[in-house]
Amino acid sequence: METVIETVNFTATRVIVTSEKSFEEVTNNIETINGRSDNALFQQMIGTKQSFEQIKSGIESMIGKSGFMIFSQVEHGKLMSLAGKNKKAKLYIIGNPLIANQMFEQNPAVGLYVPLRLFVYDDYNGKTHVAYDQPSSLLGQFPNEKISTIMQMLDQKFEEMVRIAT
């Protein structure tokens, strides 16, 4: 049996939005407009072999006003404080399993990029930055009409979410 290695080069577009709002205000806004993933509920839905409609309803209950949920967050600032740096930085893993599933059906490799990442950090000068790679630039490497439609929608949703947060 032969192993095949394929290398794919692509260009991503990073969006960085700078806000006069405090780090705390921006992160609070992000956490308010996005729902929260409930891993116990996910496991329960999978373990009890619920119908797709029941699973869909359970997932929808976790989705926030933004159309997304936060799967996890990493407090980079707290990690940096261990090295004596007083920096505020937080990475969010954000997505919507119902949207992602539509793309998985077209090409499972999209799982490398969804859920998406959103990074918030301060710059020591009172400004807060929100950075993310534009979904269409990450997913554009998958030539598929349905994925193209979804990634354009994700671009708009991310732009709106960050606009509200900042």
Residue 69 burial (C-beta neighbours within 10 Å; 0-12, 13-18, 19+): buried
Instruction: Report in angstroms the alpha-carbon separations of 8 from 40, 141, 158.
Output: 36, 8, 25
Residue with tokens 């439609």: 149
Q: Which fold has domain 14-165?
A: TATA-Binding Protein (3.30.310)
Q: How far apart are CA 95 and CA 112, in angstroms?
A: 13
Residue 43 · residue 142 · CB < 8 Å: no
Residue-level pLDDT at 83: 64
Average pLDDT across the chain, whole number: 90
Domain ranges of the chain: 14-165
CB atoms within 10 A of CB 94: 27
Q: How sure is the predictor about 164, in pLDDT bands with cuts at 50, 70 and 90?
A: very high
Residue-level pLDDT at 57: 87
- Which tens digits make up the pLDDT trace of 36-52? 988 777 777 777 777 87
pTM above 0.75, yes or no: yes
Residue-level pLDDT at 116: 96
Checking if the pLDDT of 30 tops 90, the result is yes
Residue-level pLDDT at 126: 81
Checking if the pLDDT of 82 tops 70, the result is no
- Which tens digits make up the pLDDT trace of 90-142? 999 999 999 999 999 999 999 999 999 999 999 878 899 999 999 999 999 99
Residue-level pLDDT at 81: 66
Residue-level pLDDT at 106: 95
